Amino acid sequence: MSQWLPYLFLGLLLLAVLAWWVWDAIVHRSTAEVLTPRQNRLSARTVGSQRDLGERIFGTQDWDFVLHEAPSEIQRMFQRERTVLALAWLRRTRIRTSKVMRSHVVAARQSEDVQIVMEIKLALSYLLFLILCKSLIGWVWLCGPIRTRKIVRRTLQWLASQRAAFDRLMAAVDPANHKALETGCDQETAQS
C-alpha cells in the first residue's frame, strides 16, 4: 500500500495545480482586465495579425536553411531566438482565449439564464486547452521549438478541432463573446 503513496501524492499535487490554473484563469481576475479585449477590438488592422504567426515561428524551412548554411553558433542563436518567439506566441494564444473565457464568466454571472450543462462543457474544454497550452510551453521551454515542432503541430491541429467545438459552445452560450473569439481579442501593437 505504501508503494502507491508517492503516486497518490503526485496525482493530488497535479490536481491541485490544475484546480489553481482554472481558479486563476477564470475567477481570480479583475473586471478591468476582462474589459480590455472589448476595447482593443476596435483597433485598426495591424501588420502581421492577418496571417498565422505560429506557422511562421514553428515552420521548418528556416531551420533547414540555418542547418545547412550557417555555423553552429548561428544555429544555437536561431534556436534561442525561436524559443523566445514560440513561448511568446503560446502565451499570447493562451491569454487571448483566457480573456474571452473571463468575459464570458462575467457575462454568465450577470445572466439569469445560465445553462449548467453547457457551462460545464465549456469549462472542461477550457481546462483541457489550458493544460495543453501549459504543457506545450513547458515542452518548448525545455527542448526548443525545433525538437518539439511535431508535437506542437499535432497538438495545435487537435486544438483547432477542439476549438471548433469550443466555438459552437460559445456561440450557443454567449454569442457576444463568441464574436470576440472569432475576430481576435487584442491587437497589441509595437508602438503601444
Partner 1 sequence: MSYAPRNIDLEPAIADLRNRTLSRLPCAFSRLVYLASSRDLSTGRYSHDGLAFHFSENVASKAMAACHTEIFDWLLFCSLEELVVELRKYISSTEVRPGDVLRSWKHLGSYRVTIPSECDKLAAEIFTSNVKIALEILQTRQESAL
Q: How many chain residues are in contact with partner 1, going by CB under 8 A?
A: 34
Angle between helices 72-110 and 61-69 (to 10 degrees): 160
Q: State the nearest-atom distance from the C-beta of 167 to partner 1, in Å.
A: 22
Angle between helices 116-147 and 149-173 (to 10 degrees): 160
Q: To which residue does cell 454569442 refer?
A: 175
Q: State the nearest-atom distance from the C-beta of 109 to partner 1, in Å.
A: 31
85, 105, 122, 159 from 118: Cα distances, Å: 35, 13, 6, 19
Site string for partner 1, 25-44 (x = CB under 8 A): -------------------x
Q: Give the residue with the Cβ less far from partner 1, 93 or 148.
A: 93
| Per CB under 8 A, 67 contacts partner 1 | no
55, 64, 99, 116 from 108: Cα distances, Å: 34, 48, 14, 10
Among 13, 84, 124, 176, binds partner 1 (CB under 8 A): 84
| Per CB under 8 A, 92 contacts partner 1 | yes
Q: Give the residue with the Cβ less far from partner 1, 24 or 182.
A: 182
Q: For residue 186, give the DSSP letter.
A: -
Question: Phi and psi (nearest 5°) for 46?
Answer: -115, 160
Amino acid making up residue 162? Q
| Per CB under 8 A, 169 contacts partner 1 | no
Stretch that binds partner 1, among 8-16, 161-169, 174-182, 184-192 (CB under 8 A): 184-192
Provide the binding-site residues for partner 1, judged by CB under 8 A.
44-51, 53, 56-57, 61-62, 65-66, 69-71, 74, 77-78, 81-82, 84-85, 88-89, 92, 187-192
